[in-house]
Amino acid sequence: MLQRMAKKYKYTGALEFETKEEYNVKIKEAAAAYDEFRPKAHKFRETYLVQIAEELAGEDGKEVDFHLAQLINREQIKEHFRRIKRSEGRDRKGGVDKVMADYDKWEQILRKEIKLPDEVEEGTKLWYDYIQDFIEDTEDITWTMEEYCNSWKKMKEDKASLPGIHTTHMKCLDSATKAAEVISRLALIPLLTGYAPKQ
């Protein structure tokens, strides 16, 4: 995580320290640098927004002031909603860090062999009931080449699909060709076998 952040913010200082004392010295230096920078932060932000506005104006020929006003307005709206979330106590980020998979336990959950405690909230109970509502019979998974090719027509072209292959390439597939047959069969392998080839 530190390496990713260092790369993102172009940080070139040390990421590891020999002693706790050395670490504390660096923390104090960083805090002092931050306190010095903070009063000037809005000026740096303005300069950055002006640079973006100039780039946008160069692309579409509209006035720099027009783009700058839009960028500032967008920033104000974001800050407005940030304040609302903070006041409602919703500013804590709760993304998933990692998942520890205990497959035996999940099997018991899906087979309704584990009973939830009474104090569990209603939403969790509803989710618990929902994931257990499934048919255990084997399901026949297959599709025709026409169905596979047609399924790509619904995909948005500004979203990524496969490395080196664009969604537009998939949309251009002719279901009557050998290429369509190969690609549709390859896409079916993971669903039929549970094995996903690396390439």
DSSP state of 40: G
Q: State pTM to two decimals.
A: 0.35
Contact 150, 173 (CB under 8 A): no
Residues in the chain: 199
List the pLDDT tens digit at each of the 199 positions of the chain. Answer: 888 888 888 888 888 888 999 889 988 998 999 899 888 888 888 888 899 999 999 988 889 999 999 888 888 888 888 888 778 776 666 565 566 677 788 888 877 788 888 888 888 888 888 887 776 677 778 898 899 999 988 888 776 655 677 888 888 889 999 999 999 998 888 888 888 777 6
For 192, what's the count of Cα atoms within 13 Å in the CB-facing half-sphere? 11
The torsion angles phi and psi of 188, rounded to 5 degrees, stand at: -80, -25
Which residue ranges make up each domain of the chain? 2-87, 102-137, 145-193
